[in-house]
Every structure is written in structure tokens, then in C-alpha cells.
Amino acid sequence: MLVAALTVVALAVGGCADFTSEDRQREAGAFSPNNRPSGQAEPTPPPETPRETQPPPTGPCVDPDPAVIATCLASTGGVMPGDEQGEVTVVAERTTGRIITTKRYGPQRVLGETPVDASGDGGLIDFAFSPTYSQDRLIYAFITTPSDNRIVRLAPGDVPKPILTGIPKGATGNMGAMFFRSPTELVVATGDAGNPAAADDPSSLAGKILLVTSFTSGASPRPAVVASGFGSTVSLCPNANSGTIYIADQKATEDRVQVLEEGGPKVLWTWPDKPQIAGCGVAGGNIYVSTTRTQRIEGINEPTREEPTITAPVVVLDRRYGALGRMAALPNGLLQVATVNKQVGIAKPTDDRVFRFLPSGGGNDRT
């Protein structure tokens, strides 16, 4: 599903976005086969200048760091890669309700937009592309409204259509996550809306892992509750190869990473110092988390039948980009990470940003 999604978004970005004439000329090559006389040997093009050594464009939103692929964003929500190399990103602007795709040196293109209530930590929380996005251009968005948190469906030229409503909203604890596990199953993680008791209340949709299978607008059946008891800033990081789902969240006494098993969630590691885990991703045999307060990426080994023991977290990135929000992992081991400096950190002129990062030495490197 992840590879398919990357392909769909890459096609959408490549087919519609105008990434400067310089990019087009480089991708087209120096010669066209239709203009070469028959029998003439194909000329050898000059060596290509690496992207990082090309003169950058000028302007207030040019970040000198070659790992930064999106700049001058509003405070961010969910993020996902837009191609298999991780050079393109798709990111939610939590406070504006816009879903933006871009790459280094831009430009930015809006794929979808919805009104949101961005008070507290609410707003455009996360998004997921329809499994048939190449045909229907539908995007599902997890948003905060003045009355609740909900899932809506975005279609080009149409108003947002509600798919699941009534997820409790609070002054805090609104941040959740979602992804399509299959073409007919949308897995949704909800925060506790600032009320830990609601996470354990079977009548509440707060602090839960939900399985949404009805995508028609209007009155929808109540989704199945897969697991309960989650705190705030709940993020999901599925292993695309095994189908295993890991969950990171913040509780009153600790931050933690859990694995979703048949009998319920099982705790893999806890952080009593509460670094404010905001995102997680699985890459190279490791589970990585991004933190807001300590501004780090840390990794623990992904447990296997052969190596079930979790080793202590290893810091693989420390205070380079400020406060970190959501992250996403690619099959090639790269991570895309969004910053939240405009929300809680010290914003620089090019914040907020998305950067690419290739971990090494985090947890148990099996690559």
C-alpha cells in the first residue's frame, strides 16, 4: 500500500506541478531521439551537476540545508513522502487546513484544503490519500471543527463531506493519526481530548484505535474500536512489510511506544522523562520517534521472533532542526520529519520545515 501511494502521489506531483524550467530541462536530457539523424551515435551528455552544488534560487524561503525539502510552512500536522526517493513531500499545515506537496526549491502546490479550528493543538491533524487516488482524486482528512474532531472527504471543487463525526475535542489532546491498511479499512488513532478517563470509556471515541470501513458521507455506522487507553499526540507507524502497527503517545506519567497485538496493545518502551514524542516511523529494522521538547530523533530496535528484546533508545539526531512533529518512513530507510517551531519552538525565517534524514546506528541496524 505504501509503494502504491508513493507512486500515485509522485504521478500527481509530476504531472501537475511545475518544478521550474531547470528541472524540466535536466529531466528531459540534452537531445531528443526524434531529432537525431538515423544511424547517428547518441552523443554523450556533459556530466550532470549535483543538485546540492547548483546555485540555489534566491528568496526568503530558501534554506541552505540540503536536507530541507519544504520551507516557510505554517505549523505542521501529518506528513508523508510523495515519491519513492523521498525528494517530494506532502505535508499538512495544521493551522491553515491546507495539504501541500513540494520538494526542495519548490514550488508549493495545494492538493486539498478544508476549514479547521486550529485552537490548542487542533486543526488539520492528518490526512490519507484514497487507495484509488489516481482515479478519484479523493483525500481523507482528520480535522478539528468548533464542535468536534472528525474525518472528512475532500474532492476537487467540492465542499468537505463528513465521514466520521463526534470524536471528542478538547483544549489539548486532539492530535491523532490515520492510514489505509487496505482499500476498505482506514485505521484511525484518536487522542484523549485532554480527558484520560475518556480513553478508557467504551462509549467515547477519544483515546482509541478505530477501524473505519464506511466512507459514505452523512450518517455513518459507529466504527469498530480496536484498542483503547491512549493519551495525547497519538501517532501510528505501521511496518508496510509485516503489517504490524506501532503506536506512540504521551501519557501523564510517561511517553511510550506500543505494538498492536491481537490481545491489545503491548508496551515496548517508555520514556519517564517525557520528551514529548510527536511522531514515529519504522525503517531498517528500527522504530524511530521524533520529539518536541528534547528536539531529537531516537531509535529502538523493532522486536522480532529471533530478537524479541528491546534495547535502550539511541539518539540519532539531536537539536538540529528545533522542535520536531510528525515523521514518515520510506522503504529505502529515509525519514521525512516535519518541524513545529511555529507552535512550540523558536522559529527561524524558513520555518516550519520538512527535512529528509537517513538514520545510522539507531536501535539495531539490520540494513
The dihedral formed by the CA atoms of 163, 168, 172 and 177, expressed in degrees to the nearest 10: -40
Residue 212's pLDDT is 97
> Are the C-beta atoms of 356 and 294 separated by less than 8 Å?
no
Question: pTM for the full model?
Answer: 0.85
In CATH terms, the superfamily for domain 77-231 is TolB, C-terminal domain (2.120.10.30)
Q: Which of 263, 321, 330, 274 is nearest to 297 (CA)?
A: 321
What DSSP character marks residue 183?
A: T
What DSSP character marks residue 188?
A: E
> Are the C-beta atoms of 352 and 341 separated by less than 8 Å?
yes
DSSP assignments along 239-277, one per residue:
-TTT--EEEEEE-SS-EEEEEEETTEEEEEEEETT---E
State residue 328 phi and psi, 5-degree precision: -140, 145
Residue 10's pLDDT is 57
Q: How far is CA 350 from the centre of its chain?
A: 20
**Residues of the chain predicted below pLDDT 50:** 11, 15-50, 361-367
Residue 221's pLDDT is 85
SS3 100: strand
Residue 2's pLDDT is 55
Residue 9's H or E segment, with its range, is helix 2-16
Domain positions in the chain are: 77-231
Q: Which of 248, 259, 345 is nearest to 298 (CA)?
A: 248
DSSP assignments along 226-238, one per residue:
EEE---EEEEEEE
Residue 357's pLDDT is 98
Distance CA 190, CA 188 (A): 6
> Are the C-beta atoms of 70 and 353 separated by less than 8 Å?
yes
To which residue does cell 534495547 refer?
Answer: 311
Express each pLDDT in 303-360 by its tens digit.
Answer: 998 999 999 999 999 999 999 999 999 999 999 999 999 999 899 999 999 999 999 8
Residue 337: count of CB within 10 angstroms of its CB: 26
Distance CA 207, CA 185 (A): 19
Residue 75's pLDDT is 98
